[in-house]
Amino acid sequence: MTVFKKGFIQRAGTACLLVSLLLVGLGCSKKPSSKNQPSIPFLPRKNYDTARLFNGIFLKSSVLCTNSPHTALSAVADTNSYQLDITLHVDWPRAATNAADITAATPEIPSLLPDLDQLLAGVTPSPEYAELLRHKEHSLKANLSSLQRLPYRDSLFDCQTILDLRNRNSSRRALFVQAIMNVNTDGSDGDRNLQIDKLSSTFQPQTNYRWEKTGPRPNPCLKEAESQLALSQAELGNGTLSSMEKTSLENEHASAQATVIELKRWSFLVGAADPFIVLPSFMVGKSPGQPSVGDYAIVIAHGILYPAILGDLGPSSKIGEASLRICREISPKSDADRRPSSRPEVVYLVFPGTAEKPFASPDYKHWSERCHSLWKEFGGIETASWHEWSSLEKPWPTPTPSPTPVATPVAITNVETSPVTGTNPAASPSASPTSILPSSSTNQ
């Protein structure tokens, strides 16, 4: 009896190990049997265990065994005889709509907005909140088969509320978003000499806020984009591609081609230098009253107000994103992989209908003046602490002029003097030094 029990425990331990491998190294661990358990195990048997995956998902696993009428020879060929079912349970949070819930996440809000109770009177969650949850659910279903692609808990529950608020006295409207803060490093500009942070795996050289290029210097990301275009073109010439591979490459080629065209024509915001925020694409410009790219915005973090604009669009399943410039002011340790806040405590106020067109190169002083004015219209206190932006743009290096050639004296003996023309083009009066412009790498 003792030998039989020992063998059973070994087989059960092996089964648990296989399930553990399927669940990213976390699965069932068998508890020691107590004296009250029967000495002879029986089927069906159910073992429960709980674990926590790397992304914060609490995992409850079980092993359910039943008796089959088939032999091992038949069972090994039946995929249903050994399978794993996964059900992801999510309890979606309600949107905060009262002062108590909003203040719990951002304690300084009542002192900054004295009329908060009036602003929240009779308010209901914006339809965008429910839409955000629908996009999150769609993303979860699409990525469930790959556990490592599921978001972290704080990324899934990234939004405390989305409200459409209006000051009754001034009629000034604002979209009120309370969420975490992710980092956006996107954007590039050939006309301004700015440092670009391209370390993010999702970096894009363009932003939706853009304006016509005015200078001759190429975009610092253009060379890489042209290389990607040439590579996709060469791969399309491979005659052994499957239909699916060809379609995928054609899409990549079209995207690379569009990127090259845009980088040659436009200048963009730069995440490491310009203060802007990002909203999910479904929340911008799709219906009347929604914010538009270029609208002015105010970020409130730890009691400080940061002037900004709505500068880019992001994925539909996440919210709470700001440029690296803003993130580093809130937390100097912020980078492409480290956000300044993982709690839904940051407030984003976006003022629909305030964008000024045509778009132009950032004017931080003007942006700040407009945000101050809009804040006052919305009912914010005049004594609020503001952060004022300064430009990080550096002057372009002065081109090094070509050295002026020095004529070499020629000794003349017993020859009738005559004008010396020489053969050096640089010595000719018609020749002029050639300017040397900085290469594209200077802008990086």
Q: Quick one: 128 and 67 in the same domain?
A: no
pLDDT of residue 173: 98
Token digits for 207? Answer: 């932003």
| 400: in domain | no
- Residue 41 pLDDT more than 70? no
For range 40-66, the mean pLDDT: 69
Q: How many domains does the chain have?
A: 3
Residue 414 maps to a domain: no
* % of the chain at pLDDT higher than 90: 67
Distance, CA of 88 to CA of 72 (rounded, Å) = 32
Q: What is the mean pLDDT of residues 418-433?
A: 38
Domain membership flag for residue 343: yes
pLDDT band at 293, cuts 50/70/90? very high
Domain assignment present for 404: no
Task: Give the model's pLDDT for residue 409.
Answer: 61
Which of 218, 252, 268 terminates a domain? The answer is 268
Tell me: do 219 and 152 sit in the same domain.
no
Highest mean pLDDT among 30-34, 270-274, 404-408: 270-274
427 assigned to some structural domain: no
Q: Are residues 293 and 146 in the same domain?
A: yes
pLDDT of residue 301: 98
**Domain end residue (candidates: 386, 405, 428):** 386
Q: Give the closest residue to 390 by CA, choosing from 304, 275, 305.
A: 275
Phi and psi dihedrals of 325, rounded to 5?
Answer: -60, -45
| Residue 396 in domain | no
Residue 191 lies in a domain: no
**What pLDDT shows up at residue 344?**
98
Instruction: Report yes or no on 196 lying in a domain.
Output: no
Same domain, 109 and 182: yes
The per-residue pLDDT for 9 is 45
pLDDT in tens, 165-199: 999 999 999 999 999 999 999 999 999 999 999 98
Q: Which residue has the higher pLDDT, 442 or 356?
A: 356
Clarify whether residues 262 and 315 are in a common domain. Answer: no
My answer on whether 319 and 364 are in the same domain is yes
Looking at every residue in the chain, the average pLDDT score rounds to 84
Q: Do 280 and 345 belong together in one domain?
A: yes
Q: Which of 30, 55, 81 is the last residue in one of the domains? A: 81
Rounded Cα distance, 141 and 27, in Å: 21
Mean pLDDT, residues 258-266 taken together: 97
Same domain, 372 and 293: yes
Task: Say if residue 217 is in the same domain as residue 279.
Answer: no
Q: What SS3 class is residue 402?
A: coil
Look up the domain containing 25 and give its range. Answer: 2-81
Least confident range of 13-17, 219-223, 256-260, 321-325: 13-17
Of 28-37, 170-179, 215-224, the one with minimum mean pLDDT is 28-37
Beta carbons within 10 angstroms of residue 246's beta carbon: 13
In a shared domain, residues 19 and 154: no
pLDDT surpasses 70 at 34: no
Instruction: Give the Cα separation of 110 and 113 in Å (integer).
Output: 5
Q: What is the pTM of this model?
A: 0.77
Q: Specify which residues 347 forms β-bridges with.
A: 178, 300
Residue 415 has pLDDT above 60, yes or no: no
Q: Are residues 237 and 277 in the same domain?
A: no
Whether residue 246 is found in the same domain as residue 225: yes
CATH code of the domain in which 348 resides: 2.40.40.20
In the structure encoding, which two tokens stand for residue 169, read together? 């006295």
What number is the average pLDDT over the span 297-302? 98
pLDDT-derived band of residue 250, with 50, 70 and 90 as boundaries? Answer: very high
Q: So what's the pLDDT on residue 227? A: 96
